Amino acid sequence: MNEVLNENGFPFRGQGGIYLDYNATTPCDPRVVDAMLPYFYEHPGNPASRTHAIGWRADEAVKKARKQIAHLTKVEAHEIIFTSGATESNNFALKGIYESYQHKGNHIITLTTEHKAVLDPLKKLETLGAEVTYLDVEPDGMVDLQKLENAITSQTLLIATMWANNETGVIQNMKAIGELCNQKNILLFSDATQAVGKIQTHPKELGVQLMSFSAHKMYGPKGVGALYVAHQDPKIKLAEQMNGGGHERGNRSGTLNVPGIVGFGKAAEIAQQEMEVDSARLQQLRDKFENTLLQQLELTSINGHSKNRLAHTCNMSFKFIDGEALMNTFNQRLAVASGSACTSASIEPSHVLLGMGLSKHLAQASLRFSLGKFTTEAEIDEAAAIIIANVNHQRALSPIWEMYKDGVDVEGLI
């Protein structure tokens, strides 16, 4: 396959199709790869090796990356703990908090629209004695703050809520949630995997004590993530979940992934400089894409808040269409998703959309499109044309669609 560059300078290979699944993972920025390469062979040191210059050089590279990430999120460098990714960070935060603070309470509040990397650890904690309240969100994907407050009990230890949803892009009102937690003396944890590097995510300013995120969602490498843990007002102490050497100041044992961490730091530095410009451009492209589909396809709708949404994310429902079947008609010309990458093997409807109140049929008729810094306008135009043609074709084959066009009430048939 021949390698080609699109108009934004990103290398695509001939059979790759149009990539609109950036929320699953982003391609590495070439500048990130360039920063990482020397640490695979020129500078192979282990940062825990304190007896020679090669180890010192690795340690300095990790310190630099920690500062770059701390600068992006406006926290202190020593408050960043490196992990293998957001899933590990989520497990560390939730299990570490519960183990350390359950003497203060065993109740945790979360949203039904959280990522499975939050919901599954909470299910595990329930087997260990935790009481977990799972709140549905409003139809626009936002949590009702009054319902959130009403769910708080004298035993509530923690509220866990995503900063921005991975399927709909809906951005929660973290400032208001942080203020509520502060008033009630409750800890606040946020899975900010989709938000960091895309929008301003400053946990200290908003009363968030723990925040998880990953490099591969912000044009860095896979296999490296971070957990922000507040060290003052209050100082949070997590029970260690990974034992075996006391790395990361006793928080998380294991030899650090130096090349990945260097790439993570470089990605954070680039995001600090470019994310606002990227976001503005992507919102224009996404809005054009959405408007084209809404204008040319009837019974098509956007899932999620009209404004409080990531600029690059679009989740749409195409009534009387099966989303999985529609994706199969793209013949690898489009790379899109029907939900989270971590649940893509499931044929069940999206738990996020069900949590927003969508019917099972409409949830199964939905697809997620996520754009990125290497997406071009030409790709957006071509993608819209492919989707319109295939939705129309699929509907033309449907007896229910024909009945609907003839004026028959078909709601009871789906």
Question: What pairs with residue 108 in β-bridges?
Answer: 132, 158
Token digits of residue 31: 């500048």
Query: Known catalytic residue: 181?
Result: no
Sheet with 131-135, strands from edge to edge, namely: 80-83, 225-229, 210-214, 187-191, 156-160, 107-111, 131-135
Question: In sequence order, what E strands does 168-274 have?
Answer: 187-191, 210-214, 225-229
The C-alpha atoms of residue 43 and residue 60 are separated, in whole angstroms, by 11
**Residue 160, SS3?**
strand
The C-alpha atoms of residue 340 and residue 350 are separated, in whole angstroms, by 8
From the list 28, 181, 314, 342, the catalytic residue is 342
Q: What is the DSSP letter of 309?
A: B
Q: What is the DSSP letter of 410?
A: -
**Residue 376, SS3?**
coil
Output Rg (C-alpha) for the chain, integer angstroms: 22
Residues in the chain: 414
Burial tier of 7 (Cβ tally within 10 Å: 0-12, 13-18, 19+): exposed
Question: What pairs with residue 189 in β-bridges?
Answer: 160, 210
Sheet with 300-302, strands from edge to edge, namely: 300-302, 313-318, 366-370
Triad 72, 270, 189: Cα angle to 5°: 30
Question: What pairs with residue 227 in β-bridges?
Answer: 81, 212
Question: What pairs with residue 228 in β-bridges?
Answer: 80, 211
User: Given the DSSP bridges, would you call strands 156-160 and 187-191 parallel, antiparallel or unpaired?
Assistant: parallel
Active site residues: 342
